[in-house]
């Protein structure tokens, strides 16, 4: 019986004895070691959110094969494979578009208090409709159509710069014009692009409803995908009528945007050379 009692005491401790043991253990720990432990835990808490995020991401990828992070990191669809919104339009469809826009302009004229039937405005709705279709003709052509027959194998390693290409576009926020100039440069990687095609790429993207920031990026990405150069650089400088004719009404304001890919982003000297060669003169 004495032996059995001893085993029970070993296996099952009362709550009182547990508390007494923990309390005495804490007293035996020196203040110095407790401070060190606290500092260590505080340091760990500072980085633990990032560590936990990385670990959870890694586990999620291993368990599920794909997670939300991988969706965000997935490569954007190719610029060359994008479909133009109106590339399949026939002449009949184009006329239907113009007729629909004409009716809309007639309604707009009436809505601003004008008389669409007066002599000076009789043909204005149709003229405006045809102009709008022309202003957005970039929706009728894909980048692949533009560059497909103008990529040439060439052992060229020097920078190619086409500067001060005129652009005219429509701000997608107010549908009023912005216009200016574009300079494009790239470092070939055994392939070059026909010079006129660079201007055509600029034209396709600018003849759409745009914002200048996206326009700049699209030009750079299109050239990068078309010929896979060592780097691409684009500078766009424009006057925005939405800032000049309305809103802030700042007549002399200009907006400059740039996109640097490959060596133009990585090498300051290469970037500086392009910024010097591609500088846009005042206009």
Catalytic residues: 171-174, 212, 240, 242
Show the tokens assigned to 228: 């896979």
SS3 94: helix
Instruction: Please check whether residue 116 is in contact with residue 255, taking contact to mean a CB–CB distance below 8 angstroms.
Output: no
DSSP 169: E
Angle at 152 between CA 151 and CA 155, to 5 degrees: 135
Sign of CA dihedral 91, 96, 101, 103: positive
Q: 122, 207, 130: which is closest to 169 by C-alpha?
A: 207
Angle at 221 between CA 74 and CA 84, to 5 degrees: 90
Q: Report the C-alpha gap between 227 and 99 in whole angstroms.
A: 40
């Amino acid at each position: 019986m004495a032996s059995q009692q001893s085993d029970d005491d070993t296996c099952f401790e009362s709550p009182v004895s547990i508390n007494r043991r923990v309390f005495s253990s804490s007293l035996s720990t020196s203040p110095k070691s407790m401070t060190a432990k606290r500092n260590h835990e505080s340091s760990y808490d500072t980085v633990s959110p990032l560590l936990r995020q990385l670990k959870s991401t890694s586990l999620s990828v291993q368990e599920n094969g794909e997670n939300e992070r991988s969706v965000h990191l997935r490569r954007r669809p190719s610029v060359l494979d994008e479909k133009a919104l109106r590339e399949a339009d026939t002449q009949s469809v184009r006329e239907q578009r113009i007729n629909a826009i004409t009716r809309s302009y007639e309604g707009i004229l009436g809505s601003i208090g004008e008389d669409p039937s007066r002599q000076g405005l009789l043909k204005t709705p149709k003229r405006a409709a045809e102009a709008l279709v022309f202003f957005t003709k970039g929706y009728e052509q894909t980048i692949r159509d533009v560059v497909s027959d103008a990529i040439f194998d060439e052992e060229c390693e020097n920078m190619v710069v086409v500067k001060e290409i005129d652009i005219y576009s429509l701000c997608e926020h107010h549908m009023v014009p912005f216009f200016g100039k574009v300079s494009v440069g790239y470092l070939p990687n055994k392939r070059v692009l026909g010079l006129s095609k660079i201007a055509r790429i600029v034209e396709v993207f600018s003849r759409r409803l745009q914002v200048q920031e996206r326009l700049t990026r699209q030009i750079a990405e299109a050239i990068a995908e078309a010929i896979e150069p060592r780097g691409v650089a684009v500078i766009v400088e424009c006057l925005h009528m939405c800032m000049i004719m309305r809103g802030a009404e700042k007549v002399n304001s200009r907006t400059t945007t740039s996109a640097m890919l490959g060596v133009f982003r990585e090498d300051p000297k290469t970037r500086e050379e392009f910024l010097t060669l591609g500088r846009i003169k005042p206009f």
